[in-house]
Structure formats: C-alpha cells, structure tokens
Structure 1
C-alpha cells in the first residue's frame, strides 16, 4: 500500500467484524492449503509465500505476477530446452477478504497459439468475457443523464450511438454489409489470394479494398470493418521477429539470408493493404483525433474510442502517432474473438499460475526468493549465467531477461562490456508515464446517475464494462494531458473504472466489490521538482474520487480502503522504467526494428547469449507482455539448437540453489542439455529473469 489511509472514526459494522474474525481464524488453515496446492499442482518451491497472504493485520492481499518468464519457460520446456524463470508477488493489505490484481487488471493480446500449445484452459485458466464492454456515463449541462454503451451486438450499439448522432450509427444505403464475420473458408479469401498474388488475407481487408472513399461513409460499423482490415494485415507481424537490419548490412551470408527471410511478413502486410496503404499509413502516423474526426461527429463516441489511443502513453489525442496505440489495443483476441478484453477468473495471477503449471508439466522447476544481482559474463563476453544476491552463481548458456532494457543493460551488465552508442540509446528511450493505478475496496456497487442500480444491488450489464469517466469530449483528454506536461496532476483526469467482481464474485465478500481505477495524467515528478509524497498521493486520489462521486453519488461513502500507485511507485515496485507499462513509449520511432533500439530489435543484445523477452522488446505490449516472451523463447530455442550442435545434447542434474531468506525474486529451472561425453564442466540450464525494484532503490530480479 502506498501509505496509511485515513480511516473514518466509526466502529466496524457487525458484518465486517464478523467477516474479519472468521477470516483471521481460518487464515492459517487456508494458507497451508494454498501452499500444499501450489506444491502439488505447479511444483512451486516458493509456496511458503502464500502462507503470508492473509495473516497479520486486518487485510486484503494484492498481488502482481510477471507473466513473461513463465511463458518463455513454458515454450522452451515445450521445445525440450532448459530454462530458469522468476515469478514475484506483492502483498498489500487494504481490507479483509478482497482479492485485487494490483497492476494488470484486464487480459487480451494473448496470442491464440499460446492458448493451444500450452493448453492453458486444461491448466485452470478461465477467462470471463465482457459483453457489453464499454460504458461512458455523461455529465452534461441542462440535459438529463445519458450514457453510451458499446457491445458486440452491432444493432444495439448503433441504437446507443444514435442518441448522439444518427450519422455515426447508420450504415449508408446500398453499401455492402460488413464481411468481418465471414468464415475463413469464404470465397472472399480465394478472391483476395488471386488479386494479391496468392497472399491469403482476411475478408475485412477485401472489404476495405473494395469500399468507397473514406468521406462517403461515416458510420461505426464501417469504422469497425476498416480497422479490422488493418489489424488482419498487420497481425502476422506480431508473431514474426523484426528484420535484423544489422545482419542485412554487415552479417555473414547466412545471417543476411535469415534477415531477408524476416522481410516476408512485412511484404505480405504491404500486399494485403494494397491500394489502401496510404489510408492505413495515415492511421499509423496521424493523431487519433484527426482519424476519428474523419469518421464521426459525436464527441462522446470519439472520446471513448480515443482512450485506447492514449492509455498508458504520455500523449494527447492530438499527438501524432497516437492512432497506432489504438490499433495495438484493437489487435487483442480472446477465445477466438477479435478485439475482446476480459477478466481472468480468480485475478490476473491465475494466468501466471496456469502458465506455471504448463511449464511444470513440461519439466520446469520454479524457485522463488532468488534475487539476481548481475549477469555473469565470460572472458569472451558471452552471458554465462547469473549471480544471486547471496553469492550463488548459476551457470548457463542462455539468459532471458524480462526486466526492462534499462535495468537489464544499465544495472545488471557492467557498462564497459557494452558499446557506448548502445548505452546512450538505451538511456534515451522515452519512458515517460502518465499512469496512476488506484485499487479500491467498496461495500456496494457504484450507482451511476445515467444508469442507477437495481433495488437488490446486483450487478447490471454496464458494471462489467470498462467505465470511461471524464470522456464527454476529446478536449477534456487534451486538457488533462496539458496539465500533466506542466507538472500538475490532472484536475479532471481520464479514468477507466473496472469492477471485475461484477463477473467474478469470488474476488470480494458478499455484497462488496473490488474496483480498479486506471487513471491519467500524472507526471513522474511534480512541478518544482517535488517528489510524490503521501500528501500528494492522497490529494490526487481524492480528486479522482470526487470525479467518480459526480457520476455516481455515494461512491466515496462506500470506500473501505485504497491502494495508490503513482508512476514512481510503479517503477519502484514493479521495475517499470518511469512507471511506463510498455517498458518504453509506443511511438513509431520506438517500434519494430527500433525496439528497444535500432540494430538490436530481434530480442538479441550486444551480449551473446542474452535475450530480452519483456515489453521493451518487439512488439511491445501492455501489462501482460506475452508476445515478446514467445518471440524471445523462439530466438532462445534457435540459440539452444546452435549450442547443442556444438556441445551435444542430453541431460544433466539441475544445479542446487539454496534458499534465500525473505527475498522476493523467483527463478525457474528447467531440465538442461548436458555436455557431450568427456566434456569438463556441466552446462547449466538457460536462465530467465524478471525484475522489480526494492524499496531501497536496488533491483529486485
């Protein structure tokens, strides 16, 4: 928790006191069961940490798990390679019986091949899809309360939009219906293949190629089809490593051929876009406000859509390139449904647990309480493993880092081992963040003026949505951004309010709920160079609560406790550089073959045997960075194959790692390859690490 929260001078209600006493009485038994279950099902050696979640003061535990290490470990285990992983937790107490996803709170961008190859559903993953998915209540002068509700039913969505603009909701007469839902075997695919030289693309691309100019239709269904066409063309690029520009110019013949092969997905994307390429290029480079103005006239609709273009970014809807961030969020997919975002049953940690189980089933061993101090380098400059905080050395032929590029290269690697230009480029990566995350426990659902609660207090459809506040127009988002650029937290911040307990009732006691507030804009350093202190944190949280109170009277009185995470807190606790949820900005100058820096975009680094697998690598993800891990694991697998070709393959015992007191790191060991007969030393498994920061400022890896 970011600090003590002033409590109301009232005695505990009888029901709350009874819940707390029951919770404390059973905490030790529950902790033992959790520890046994983790050890039994996942092979997690650090299950003892779970024993502390629910003991101590009147509490609730908040946890945040890193996904990428487990994902890379699972993939390398599936490929027969060896790995080490770290997983971490954080416990924060704000109210008995509540479960929070402290940082990440929604799931998407989890690639379908990850679902299938790791069999995550079999390992316990359950996703709760949302429909409707977006709710925007409005505060308008001289008008009764109105709201905008968006869902997957296009007819109902059009009716909602028609409240504000008939033009935005309608499909022009005589225009072809949307092809977005045509099955993949539809003849349109074959037509696309013939038109584009055998390149098979999705029907949405065909529709966009054959549709009239942009100015001739300004309707939401056509906007959805247009964006779907761009997503279908660019989606394969997420699964392909970026072009290795250094190898193209300076590599060996084999490296150049591999780099040329990496150009194929890029060429396919260009062919798929065809004559519409200029229009799509505008989406990627222009301000999202310009794009939305071309499509719509309704300010509430434009502001609601614009939130996905600026979320997590220190950018305004008027910032060039903000359109790509919106596209990045549209690229998500869940349960085969394009663009869907959902809650993970049991909290976001359940996804990490499912991946851990998948890794364990393939031979991974997960160790917690192992803090990494630095990466071991050999005389030839290659990564040879890691050194733990207690002095233990773990030798390895391969190290994968889920830490940010800044921590990996500026803190865990001796600077003299890196090219000076590379260090300078890493230092110059834009890591500004506008995000402050607030987790709230409430004793009842918020009741919005635009959609009051039912008498029984049960969740209504809009309670499962991402609820957008202060989104009456894009000018409000720009105003909030401008205030932050001058060092002042927004007086009317952009707020995305989610209530996962509306669908997942196990997250809170009966009648109570957990509320996640993703807010911006807040600067990393306040005006005058002032740091964030307890007074500043609580003052900003009070501002956010005042805004919510205007839309949902009674919200402030329902609050039981809160946890405030400003940009410096996100950096200190989770290792997010500058508090940036992407490990670096998502502007075009920091994407594809420029992520994290030019010439080192293919998950590799200047240190042979060291790979990046976090959000700082291509393609850059929010929160649950699955694709960089998957891609890095693929690169690591190729490295393993090369090493096996040199040293032979087999098995050798896992290195022993002594327990490490009360550290918060974690590592996963997977069955390694062994040296060929007669070799002098054992080749230990590849090591995969992730990182947060300790309260004293040191790295927690």
Structure 2
C-alpha cells in the first residue's frame, strides 16, 4: 500500500516542459514577478502579461497549481490532491482568459449531494438516503421522506440564498472598501477609490427585503438558521456541512452561516451554484490559466523558491531565490499567505510593530485532513446498492456526506478537535471524480477523495502527526466508510494522508488552512487580512498580495489574483 511517505509524484508539469522547450532562462529583470504558481498567482500573471507587461512566475514546488493541482501519487491514478471541486471561479475570468480555449474541460454534476443513512429512518422508518440535485420536484420528493414541511420549505430556502448571492456578487469582482484610501485619495484617484463604495451600495440596495436574512447569515450560527427553516436532521446536517468546510468551527458558532453562503456563490456554464469536476483533476484549472499566460509570453518556472522579497527605502525591488540568485522587478505580487509574505519574505524591520502584531493575530486554524485514495472498484453503499455492475450510479457522481444523520455529530467531532483528540466521529465528504472523468484512473478502478474534519493541528499530550497517528486517523475514517459501504477497505490500493501540518508543509498553507486564513466576519472584506493591511496595495510600495489571504477570500475563485493585477495596472506608470 502506498502511504503518504511513499508517494510517487509527477516529475514536471506541461508548463515547466514548455519552458524547457522554449529555452527559457531566468532573466535578471522583469516588469513583474509573481511569487507562487497557485491559481490566483497564475490569474494575476495572465492578466498582466495580456496587458503587455513582462511577467515571471516563480514556484517553489516541481509543479504549478498550488492547492489546485493534480498529482499521480499511486501509479495510474491522478489525484486532485488538495482542492477537488470547481464552482467559485469567477465567470469574468473564464471569459477574459478564454480558459476553455486553453484546455479547461469540466463535468457538471447533477445530482450534487448524497447522504446515505447507516440505519433506515424517515417518516415511515424505511428511508435510506437523501439525494439532492437541480430538479426541484425530485428534491421535494427526497426530502418528503423525512418531512413534508421541509419539502415545501427547501425551494424557498434555496431561492433566498440565490437572491442574496446575486446581490453580493459584484463585491467579489471589486476591491474591498479602504476607508483611509477613500478619505485621502486625490481628486484624480477619487473615482477608483469610490468604485468599491458604489459596488457595496449597489449590493445593499439590491438586497431589498433579504437584508435581514443576509445580516443573520453573516452573524448567526448556521444551526440557528437551519433550525428555523427545517426540522429533519439528515437535511439539516447535510446543509450544515457547507457552514464548516475548511473552518475550525461548529454549526453552532456565530458566523458559520457566512461559510455556508460562501459555498453557494459559484456559477459554471451559466448555472448558478453548480459544482463540477475538472477533466484531469484540479490541475487542469491551473494548467489552462498557465497556458493562457504563457501563450501571451509569460515565463513560468518551477523549483524556484523565493527566499526574500528585496526592498529599498520601503519600495520593492525584486526577489532573492533560495540559491542566492537576485531577480529585479518593478512590482512583486505574492500568492503566498499573509504570514509567509509579510513575516517570512519581507526583511525584518520593514513593517511597523503594530502591523506585525495584527498579522500574528490572524487566524489560520485548520480542521482539515485530506485523504486521497485509489480503489479497484466503486464503493457499494448499503443504502443504495450498485445495480449496474461497474458503471457508476447517480449518487456516485456527487458529494457523499457520511456521519451526517444528525447535526450533533458534526458538533461532537469539533469538540474532540478542540481537545486535541483524534475524533472517532469524523465528518466526511467523499467525492469520486472518476465516476465522470475516465482519464483519472485505470478502467474499472477509481479515485476517491476524502475531505475530512475535524483534526487539530497539534495533538493532545505533545503527540505529533507522525505516520502512526496519520494512519490511525485514516483507519478510523475508513472504518466509518465501511459502515456505509461494506467492502471499501478491501478495495483500497493506496492512500495519501494530508493532516493540517502536511497541508502546510506541502502547499505552503499556513496552519494547513485551505483559505489562507479563517473566513470569519472579523477576517473578511475590509479587514482581510487585517484592518491595517486590508486592500490590494501593501505597506511596501510595489508589493501586492494576490492570494486568498486577501479579499474576497478562499476557494478556487481567482478573484484575488484578478483584483491584484488590476491594481498593478492602475499603478504601474507611477511605479516605473
């Protein structure tokens, strides 16, 4: 069995291969350097290169993509090793960068959510599962197994979320308000400073009668909101998972409603809220963006770790690589987390102590352990047994929620993590992207991706996440799956286990946090990453934060990269 320390990785990406083929060599100077080839960094590079700047992207790993990456860990099996679904990528970016032209192919999912029950339940004691998708009547039929009231309420719940998402949508494509910038801007710069204000006011106006519901989503526990709408636990628990994905929080915590809202903000092929698998894995997103950037002349290099951002008199001058190579640039954009960018890469003494103190208080707590599994057959769920042999059924194609019979199970797993325990009741989201994408695994075999919570960064009693504890936790997760799908453990060919410290070490995600920082109300919009450092321009001239640690936050969205590039283009003449 291939465990985490035995992984066999792809040796290079198409981008680095292209660079070699084109005979690209690092130059001594560029207009712009992007630190990190995560999807946001690549988006920024593509926009800047299209606008005529000479752009260089420097990636410390052997392949591009950051957390939106595909890796062949078990031979023949291609894993979306970190992020695993596409929905939030902004439509404007898809259009501007012509990502379908540059190779992005997706498989839309319908149905979207499957919750099997370990024991039959529902109104007649015979319901075995809950399957939800885009068809309203079928959703109502499924939910009616558990509650007639909930079946009627669900469509209105969805419509209200859709209206709220439509209202705040412009905020995702505009910078956050910076009140000091608005107040101090010259008359010449007033218009660009006021644009975010206009976007915010437009969102508030279009919210209309949903304003109270929006305020509640931003501030209340998701559990409170769901309890008011619904009475059936399998439905509430399934919906509650979206309120805690990537967050060390319980649905009972104030503000968890926003995380729920964040995960329904997406749109693909004009379908609001749609989620999809990317052909070839999530690295296909990053590769399409890189193809666009390179086609316009950008240079992308792997195995080039940036050790320091060069500054002189509070102005960015370029970067120094780990091997000592200096590369000059008029601007530097960092796709790293705020902690890495400001506290690790900038020379000491660059920032004021107040700014450093705020950065040290920024919350990166992560509950996530990602387990990537190669199996030799489809999971066979007792609730809905396989009836088509090796052919995937509808429920294999969507997100499968395990340990979701009751919302209390999610809260209990959270409490275990707070005590540094390896929980016996993990919350599990399982996806099987090979059910729709045959390029990911050998015929008849499948790729199973497990997004699990809650796991603490530090274990109680000073224990480490060594191989023993990694495998102990993975075995617990597999035992849970076995309860729902007997035979799963026997089908496993290999597995890759990434705890919060592993996510930090492998992908540069501080604390293992997939969003570059907790998506809590105090760390959003004009306070992301901190009140003193919010906005696209950093305290150091010609340095820009283009990753998810900036507004509007995490997920494979691309908006932080696009907004940073737009800010660079507005400033570039004055920086030259």
TM-score normalized by the length of structure 1: 0.76
Q: Among 361, 372, 377, which residue is 2:295 paired with?
A: 361
Partner of 1:81: 53
Give the conservation status (yes or no) of the 8 Å contact 1:614–1:625: no
Give secondary structure in 2 for the equivalent of 1:562. Answer: strand
CA 1:459 to 1:65, structure 2 compared with 1: closer, same or farther past 3 Å?
Answer: farther
Q: Among 71, 76, 82, which residue is 1:103 paired with?
A: 82
In the aligned structure 1, how far is the partner of 2:364 from the partner of 2:19? 40
2:250 matched to 1:278? no
Partner of 1:687: none
2:467 matched to 1:485? no
In the aligned structure 2, how far is the partner of 1:93 from the partner of 1:130? 23
2:249 matched to 1:315? yes
Give secondary structure in 1 for the equivalent of 2:515. Answer: coil
Partner of 2:114: 135
2:143 matched to 1:161? yes
Give the conservation status (yes or no) of the 8 Å contact 2:181–2:193: yes
Within 5 A, what are the aligned runs for 1:521-532? 521-532=454-465
Q: Among 339, 350, 357, which residue is 1:406 paired with?
A: 339
CA RMSD of aligned residues (A): 2.5
Give the conservation status (yes or no) of the 8 Å contact 2:176–2:526: yes
In the aligned structure 2, how far is the partner of 1:141 from the partner of 1:163? 11
How far residue 3 of structure 1 moved from its aligned partner, in angstroms, is 4.0
Q: Among 565, 585, 589, which residue is 2:498 paired with?
A: 565
How far residue 449 of structure 1 moved from its aligned partner, in angstroms, is 0.6
Partner of 1:641: 573
Q: Among 542, 549, 552, which residue is 2:485 paired with?
A: 552
Within 5 A, what are the aligned runs for 1:466-505? 466-505=399-438
Give secondary structure in 1 for the equivalent of 2:450. Answer: strand
CA 1:382 to 1:476, structure 2 compared with 1: closer, same or farther past 3 Å?
Answer: same
2:308 matched to 1:326? no
Partner of 1:228: 162
In the aligned structure 2, how far is the partner of 1:550 from the partner of 1:36? 43
In the aligned structure 1, how far is the partner of 2:329 from the partner of 2:354? 27
Within 5 A, what are the aligned runs for 1:507-656? 507-622=440-555, 624-643=556-575
Give the conservation status (yes or no) of the 8 Å contact 1:447–1:453: yes
In the aligned structure 1, how far is the partner of 2:257 from the partner of 2:177? 23
In the aligned structure 2, how far is the partner of 1:309 from the partner of 1:224? 15
Q: Among 108, 113, 120, which residue is 2:92 paired with?
A: 113
In the aligned structure 1, how far is the partner of 2:52 from the partner of 2:529? 28
How far residue 68 of structure 1 moved from its aligned partner, in angstroms, is 1.5
How far residue 309 of structure 1 moved from its aligned partner, in angstroms, is 0.7
Give the conservation status (yes or no) of the 8 Å contact 1:440–1:563: yes
Give secondary structure in 2 for the equivalent of 1:415. Answer: coil
How far residue 104 of structure 1 moved from its aligned partner, in angstroms, is 1.0
Q: In the comparison of the two structures, how many residue pairs are matched?
A: 555
The structure with the larger Rg is: 1
How far residue 640 of structure 1 moved from its aligned partner, in angstroms, is 1.5
TM-score normalized by the length of structure 2: 0.92
Give secondary structure in 1 for the equivalent of 2:333. Answer: strand
- Of residues 575-584 and 388-397 in structure 1, the stretch that sits farther from structure 2 once superposed is 388-397
Give secondary structure in 1 for the equivalent of 2:320. Answer: strand
How far residue 597 of structure 1 moved from its aligned partner, in angstroms, is 0.7
Give secondary structure in 1 for the equivalent of 2:52. Answer: coil
2:375 matched to 1:442? yes
Q: Which runs of 5+ in 1 are unaligned?
A: 7-23, 47-63, 171-218, 648-701
CA 1:67 to 1:36, structure 2 compared with 1: closer, same or farther past 3 Å?
Answer: closer
Give the conservation status (yes or no) of the 8 Å contact 1:283–1:324: yes
CA 1:265 to 1:488, structure 2 compared with 1: closer, same or farther past 3 Å?
Answer: same
In the aligned structure 1, how far is the partner of 2:418 from the partner of 2:560? 30
- Of residues 547-556 and 78-87 in structure 1, the stretch that sits farther from structure 2 once superposed is 78-87
In the aligned structure 2, how far is the partner of 1:602 from the partner of 1:72? 16
Give the conservation status (yes or no) of the 8 Å contact 2:37–2:58: no
CA 1:222 to 1:345, structure 2 compared with 1: closer, same or farther past 3 Å?
Answer: same
In the aligned structure 2, how far is the partner of 1:149 from the partner of 1:337? 19
- Of residues 91-100 and 76-85 in structure 1, the stretch that sits farther from structure 2 once superposed is 91-100
In the aligned structure 1, how far is the partner of 2:24 from the partner of 2:433? 30
Q: Among 34, 40, 44, which residue is 1:68 paired with?
A: 40
How far residue 31 of structure 1 moved from its aligned partner, in angstroms, is 8.6
CA 1:38 to 1:593, structure 2 compared with 1: closer, same or farther past 3 Å?
Answer: same
Give the conservation status (yes or no) of the 8 Å contact 1:145–1:449: no
How far residue 575 of structure 1 moved from its aligned partner, in angstroms, is 0.7
Q: Deviations over 1:473-492 (max 9, x none)?
A: 11111011111101112211
In the aligned structure 2, how far is the partner of 1:475 from the partner of 1:315? 13
Within 5 A, what are the aligned runs for 1:165-176? 165-170=147-152
